[in-house]
Amino acid sequence: MKAFIPREPDWLRALRMRGGLRWPAWARLRMHPYPEQFSPAMDLPPRDGPARFWLMATTPRSGSHFLGHLLQGAGHFGCPLEYMNPMNLDLWRHRFGARDDGEVFDALTRLRSGPTGLFGIKAHWNQWAGFSSHDLIARRGGFERAIWIYRRDLLAQAISRTAAVQTGQWIGSARARGAKAFDYGAIVRNARMMRKQNEHWAAFLGTDFAAPSKTVVFEDVAADPEAACREIGAFLDPVVPELRFEPRTTKQSDGTSREWADRFRHEVRPEHDWILTPQSF
């Protein structure tokens, strides 16, 4: 398959031309699996004043992208993205011309907070555990709430990540850069990684997280997004106004995912039966 180089969007060209983005950051951003998240088009009306931080605790391919866009589209909960992802954080520094993480988060909370100050941060466990600036969030008021989303169907989640790694297609709107191929070992490794991250979240949120947290299951959100998001919204902000929650992302599972699931169930070894057991936390 020929290498695919995406067209440079207008906002990225403008940033480069005014000197706000230089090589190699420019190249990393052009090849980023979700470059739109850095675009000013995703900014919200600028807001001064303290931010009200909330956390979306996730694992890869858990449905957090789907849930995050539902909440973002409602216009009240900010724009929850992977602001602790070290690669993303570096690109934010370039976009804002920031000297340190404090300046990055000051700019982000001004441009990505909802009208009442709610600012969401989505983080996988490895991003959370590896983030070196938790103190700067604590100095800005700390987290008010956490939503932990996990996926009941661990096999489907592991298959989804295996395919995404192979193709580079992490969101539905992205173009595939590689081919899919069934890989039993990779599915097992991804399932093991996802289970371990969920165990870390369960332990941390249950004992060490100072604010209230709520657990949601992706399959329940997907079955009734409106009802699930109303419940989540009321938890994040008890005085949340009447809002609409409309799905805005593209479903990525396809016939290949189902074929891989059937094949895995047929070939599964006894020591990997746990992958077929629905997760419950």
For the domain that residue 54 is a member of, what is the CATH number?
A: 3.40.50.300
Task: Put the strands of the sheet holding 213-217 in their side by side order.
Answer: 118-124, 52-58, 143-150, 213-217
Residue 44 lies in a domain: no
Measured CA to CA, the distance from residue 40 to residue 15 in angstroms comes to 10
Residue 15 lies in a domain: no
User: Per-residue pLDDT for 22 more than 90?
Assistant: no
159: helix, coil or strand? Answer: helix
Give φ, ψ of 120 to 5 degrees. Answer: -95, 140
Domain count, the chain: 1
pTM to 2 decimals?
0.87
How would residue 3 be classed by pLDDT, with cut points 50, 70 and 90?
very low
Determine the pLDDT at residue 1: 42
Tell me the angle at which helices 86-96 and 101-111 cross, rounded to the nearest 10 degrees. Answer: 80
Determine the pLDDT at residue 178: 75
Determine the pLDDT at residue 239: 84
Determine the pLDDT at residue 31: 63
Q: Provide the mean pLDDT of the chain.
A: 88
135 against 254, higher pLDDT: 135
Residue numbers of the domain that contains 93: 50-276
Measured CA to CA, the distance from residue 228 to residue 226 in angstroms comes to 6
Residue 29 lies in a domain: no
Structure tokens at 1: 């398959």
Task: Give me the residue label for tokens 């951003």.
Answer: 29
Residue 28 lies in a domain: no
Nearest of 217, 232, 231 to residue 280 by alpha carbon: 217
Mean of pLDDT values over 68-96: 91
| pLDDT tens string 211-236 | 999 999 999 999 999 999 999 999 99
| pLDDT tens string 91-132 | 898 889 899 999 999 999 999 999 999 999 999 999 999 999
For residues 72 and 80, is the Cβ–Cβ distance under 8 A?
yes
Per cent of the chain over pLDDT 90 is 69
